[in-house]
Structure formats: C-alpha cells, structure tokens
Structure 1
Amino acid sequence: MSLPAPHPIYTLRGAGGALNTLHFRCHGEDPHLLFSGSGKGSIHIWNLNSRRAEKVVEAHSGSSVTWVSTLQSTDTLISQGRDMQVCLWDLNEGRSELLESVWTGSVGFCQCSLLETSPTNYLLAFAAQQTEEIKIIELPSKNPVCTLTPKAKVGMVMCIKLWKTNSGLGPLLLAGYEDGSLLLWDVTQRAKLSQVRAHPEPVMCLTFDPRRLRGISGSSEKKLSSWTLDSQNNIQLQDDVTLVNPGVSQLCIREDGRILASAGWDDRVRIFSWKTLRPLAVLQYHTDMVLSVAFSDHQDPRQRLLAAGSKDQRISLWSIYNDGAGKG
C-alpha cells in the first residue's frame, strides 16, 4: 500500500499578500523564528512556538518584498524589495529600526545572495541596474567588491548563489540568466570560469550543494536540470527531472543533503531524494502557486521543518523525512 498523503502540521495566516520569500532562524535559543516577505511590502516575524506573528516590519514603502535573510552574528534582518533597495534592520531588544540601505537599481525579481566570510563580515551579491550585471559588496561596511558582467549576450540575470569552496579558492558565484545559461564566476579574480545552456527558457531558480559540488535549476518548463562542477570548475550537465506540470519558483536542499524541495506553479510542493532525484512526495495544500520554500536550521534533526509560502497568502509548515526515510 502507498503511504497516505502528508498534511501540514500547521499553517500561518495573516501575511496580507503573496509570500515571496521565507527564512528560518532556529539555530539558537528560543524563540525559534520564521521570517516572511510579502507582495504588500510587509515582513512578518513568526514565533514558531506561539504560531503567531511576533512583529510586523512595514518595509520598502509598500513595494513587494522579494528576499529576506539574517546576519548570524548580530540581531540584524536584511530585506530586498521591488523599490530597488536592500535594507538592514536592527531587531535587537525588540526593535525594528532601519540601520542601512543599499540602492540596487534593479527592477527584476532576482533575489540577493549572502555569504558569511567571517563572524563579523559578509558578502552580499545582487542584480544591478544594468540587467546583466551582478554587484557584490561587503557588509556591514558596504564597500564594493566587484561587478560581474558577461561578455556574451545572455540577457537579464534571474537568480544567483554565492558560496565558498574548500579548495582555498576565493568565493564563487553561480548565476542563471534569461537565455537559460548558467555561469560560474570567480569573485576574487572577477572572471567567468565556465558557462552552459541548462534550459531553453529563463532560469527561474537554482540551488547548489557545495559539499557535493552539485546543483539543480528550474525554469518555466516541465523539467529540472541537475549539474555538477568538475575539478576544473566546469559546469557539467547531468540528469533531468521531468515534472508533471510546468513552472518552478524556488528550489531548496535540506542542510543534511538528503532531500530537495521544489515550489511549483501548480500549487504543489514536490520532495525529491537529493542523491537520486527520485520523487518522494507531493505536498498538496495551497490553492495558488507556491512561490517559496525553506528548510529550518534546527540543531535537533527531529525538529526540522519545511515551510512553503504561496500566492494564496498562507504559509504551510511540514515535518517530513526527519527519521532518515529520505536517505534515498
């Protein structure tokens, strides 16, 4: 017999807009928090113990919030909006004060990428005013690091991912572009290392596993494209995953490297084994397209959660494959 379809353990309502982005902070002491950014310009800080919004930050002058994250070392929230601003907020002692803002000039939907380089310093990558450009700055100083501009015509930058290698090289950045290309950049050398055409349509989302040097990307088509990096930092296309329905908003790999979640335009979240890409489950709850997925960073694996945010203005929380069933 097949297993019954899973159900969310609970849901969060009241965001007041489409849920474009989600971010957990559960690695420290209570309270465990989930941050959400909405299409109405508000950031909700949800207390996962009380299952209520602890605070609402009205950000970006009512423009859609496209990305949220936090600095691990301080009580600082980072948000990105369609008002072409990246904002840093002080949440210490219950505050929600604007500390700094960075003007990006970008009118697209490309989400920022954040990389911790030391306990007190970070790199922030974002799409720039010129649609094919990516700018990288240091935080909290806001000092510019570099601008990455492809020589070939690949169109608008759609999605980016900063990561650090174990080989001693400086930070690298993966980027997906409008023409379906993936480019790998060396941030220190400001140089393109490799390029492939992974999709016939724009790359809508990508995620990467630095431990396995393996990534996966999605677009508006009925396919996920997986790929690896070889010893020369060349992107090598691997297996494709055929989907039932077209369109993927976001992809997320759980920290233990066992399962992959996809946010579908067909209102569903799909779970795959990250090792084999075998389909494991279809999560059906939402009544409109799923825009965001995120795994929690609980230190206890048994507490790990998956959150999904939808255009239907609801967040669903799921506890799945926490007993090793997703080793795949």
Structure 2
Amino acid sequence: MSSPAPTPVYTLRGAGGPLNTLHFSCHDADTPLLYSGSGKGLIHVWNLNTRRAKKIVKGHSGNSIIWVSTLQSTDALISQGRDMLVCLWDLSEGRSEMVDSVWTGSVGFCQCSMLEMSPGNHLLAFPGEQTEEIKIIQLPSKTPVCTLVPDAKVGMVMCMKLWQPDSGLGPLLVAGYEDGSLLLWDVTQRSVLSQAKAHPEPVMCLTFDLKRLRGISGSSEKNLSSWVLDGQNNLQLQDNVTLVNPGISQLCIRGDGKLLASAGWDHRVRVFGWKRLKPLAVLQYHTDMVQSVAFSDHQDPRQRLLAAGSKDQRISLWSIYNEGAETG
C-alpha cells in the first residue's frame, strides 16, 4: 500500500499578491515567525502560533519584493524590491521603520545573498547596474568591498550564494548566469576560481551545502544539476535529476542536510533526499506556479516546517520527514 499523499498542516492567506520569497525566523520558540514578500510590495510577518500576520510592512513603493531576510542578532529586516532598492527595516518595539537603503540599479530578478562575518557585521552581495555584475558591500556601513564582473560572455547574473569556507580563504560566491554557466568567485581576490556549464538554459536558482561542499541548481528545463567543489576549488558537475515537468523557481536544503525541496512551475513542490537525490514526495496543493520554498529553523526538529509560496497568493506549510525518516 502506498502512503497517502501529504496535505499541508495549514495555509496562510491574505498576502494580497503572488508570493515571491519566504524567510523563517524561529529562534524565539515562543514566537516563531515567517516573513513573506509579495508581488504587490507587501512584507507580511506571520506569527506561526496564531497563523496570522502580526505585522504588514508596505515598502518599495508597491513594487514586487523578490527577497527578504533578517540580520542575525538584531531585529532588523532586509528586503529587495523591483524598485532597484535594498531596504533595511527596524521592526523592534512595534515599529515598521525604514532606516537605510542601497540602490542596486538592477532590473533583473536575481536575489541578494547575505553573510554574517561577525555579530553586527554582514556582507551583502547584490546584482549591479550592469546586467552581469555583482556588487558586494559591508553592512551596516555600506562600505564597498568589490565588484565582480566576468571576463567571459555569460549574460545576466540570475542567482548567487555567498559563504565563508572553513579553509581559511576569504568569502566565496557562486553565481548562475543567463547562458547556463556557474562561476565560483574568490571575493577577496575578485577573481574566478572555476567555471562550469551546468544547464543549456539560464540558471534560475541554486543553493549550496557548506558542510558537504556540494550545490545544486535549476533552470527553465527539466533537469536539476548537482555539483561539488573539489580540494582545489574546482566546480565539478555530478548527478542530474530529470523532472516530469520543466521549470524550477527555487531550491532549498534543510538545515540538517537531509532534505532538498524544489519550487516548481508546474504548481508542485518536490522533496528529495539530499544525499542521493532520491525522490521522496510530490506536494500538490497550489493552483499556480510555486515561486519560493523554505525550511524552518526551529530548534526542536519535531517542529520543523516546509513552507511554499505561490503565484496563487497562498502559503502552504508542511510537516514532513521530521523524525528519523530514511531520506537517502
């Protein structure tokens, strides 16, 4: 007997627009939060206990919000909109105040990537005014760190991930480009360490597992492409996963490194075992393209959730494979 298809544990409605981005903040066990950014310029802060929006932030002059995150160790929220701004918000003590902003000049859909270097000191990578360039600044000072522009003709930057390796090198950044290439950048040296052609179409999304030095990317076609960094920081293409339907909006690896989730243009969320890319579940609930997936950062593994945000203006929350499941 096959097990019954999973259903959401609950859904969140009232976002007032297509859901482009999701971000959990569940370190405070008393008030776990989910942030969502919509196509109508609204950021909702959802209280996962009451399952209602505890705050709605109106930003970016009504332009679509494509990325939200929180600065660790503060109450600050950071958001990126199609108005070419990255905004910093103070939400402490009931406020919804924009305290700073950075003009990107970017007209694309590439999401920012942020890295905490030390408490209160972050690096922010964002797409620049030239379609192929990535700019990195320090926050909160907004001091420019570098601009990364590839020598090769790879087209517009589509997605990126910034991290600090354990090797002692400076920060590294992997970016996916319009021609299907991945470039690995050494931020300190402002140089490309390696390059790989992962897809025949633009790289729509990627994510990276710092513990395994392994990443995965998706595009508008049917394949997910996984890759690793070897000891010399060379990108090595590995396994491909062929999907039933084309188009992936986002990929997310759970914090324990056991699960991978994909947001599909076919309205479905797919869950894989991250170790062997074994298909585990197809989550069917949404009636339009799924544009974002995120795993919660609950301290207690039994409380972990998977959230999916869709063009149908709904967020579904799922509790799956939380205790001891074989997810090879």
Q: TM-score, normalised by structure 1?
A: 0.99
Provide Cα deviations, 1:246-294, integer angstroms capped at 9, x if missing partner.
0000000000000000000000000000000010000000000000000
Matches within 5 A, 1:121-200: 121-200=121-200
- 1:231 aligned partner: 231
| Alignment partners' CA distance in 1, 2:289 and 2:29 | 33
Provide Cα deviations, 1:137-190, integer angstroms capped at 9, x if missing partner.
000110000000000000000000001101111100000000000000000111
Q: Structure 2 counterpart of 1:155, which letter?
A: G
CA contact (8 A) 2:114 2:122 kept: yes
- C-alpha displacement of 1:326: 4.2
- 2:272 aligned partner: 272
Aligned identity (percent) is 80
Q: Tell whether 2:17 aligns with 1:17.
A: yes
SS of the counterpart of 1:141? coil
- C-alpha displacement of 1:120: 1.1
SS of the counterpart of 2:167? coil
SS of the counterpart of 2:93? helix
| Alignment partners' CA distance in 2, 1:216 and 1:160 | 12
Matches within 5 A, 1:1-328: 1-328=1-328
CA contact (8 A) 1:18 1:310 kept: yes
Between stretches 133-142 and 24-33, larger displacement belongs to 24-33
| Alignment partners' CA distance in 2, 1:253 and 1:264 | 15
| Alignment partners' CA distance in 2, 1:211 and 1:7 | 31
| Alignment partners' CA distance in 2, 1:291 and 1:222 | 16
SS of the counterpart of 2:132? coil
Q: Structure 2 counterpart of 1:104, which letter?
A: T
CA contact (8 A) 2:278 2:327 kept: no
SS of the counterpart of 2:87? strand
Q: Structure 2 counterpart of 1:71, which letter?
A: L
- C-alpha displacement of 1:89: 0.1
| Alignment partners' CA distance in 2, 1:239 and 1:142 | 39
Q: Structure 2 counterpart of 1:279, which letter?
A: P
What is the number of equivalent residue pairs in this alignment?
328
Provide Cα deviations, 1:3-37, integer angstroms capped at 9, x if missing partner.
11000000000001000000000012421100000
Q: Structure 1 counterpart of 2:258, which letter?
A: R
CA contact (8 A) 1:127 1:157 kept: yes
Q: Structure 1 counterpart of 2:24, which letter?
A: F
- C-alpha displacement of 1:237: 0.3
Q: Structure 2 counterpart of 1:175, which letter?
A: A
| Alignment partners' CA distance in 2, 1:142 and 1:6 | 45
| Alignment partners' CA distance in 1, 2:181 and 2:159 | 11
CA contact (8 A) 1:259 1:326 kept: no
CA contact (8 A) 1:186 1:193 kept: yes
Structure 2 stretches of 5 or more lacking a match?
Answer: none
Provide Cα deviations, 1:16-65, integer angstroms capped at 9, x if missing partner.
10000000000124211000000000000000000000010001000000
Q: Structure 2 counterpart of 1:246, which letter?
A: P
| Alignment partners' CA distance in 1, 2:181 and 2:322 | 35
| Alignment partners' CA distance in 2, 1:124 and 1:296 | 22
RMSD, aligned α-carbons: 0.6
Q: TM-score, normalised by structure 2?
A: 0.99
- C-alpha displacement of 1:324: 1.8
Superposition misfits of 4+ residues, deviation over 3 angstroms: none
Q: Structure 1 counterpart of 2:255, which letter?
A: E
CA contact (8 A) 1:37 1:43 kept: yes
SS of the counterpart of 1:204? strand
| Alignment partners' CA distance in 2, 1:181 and 1:227 | 12
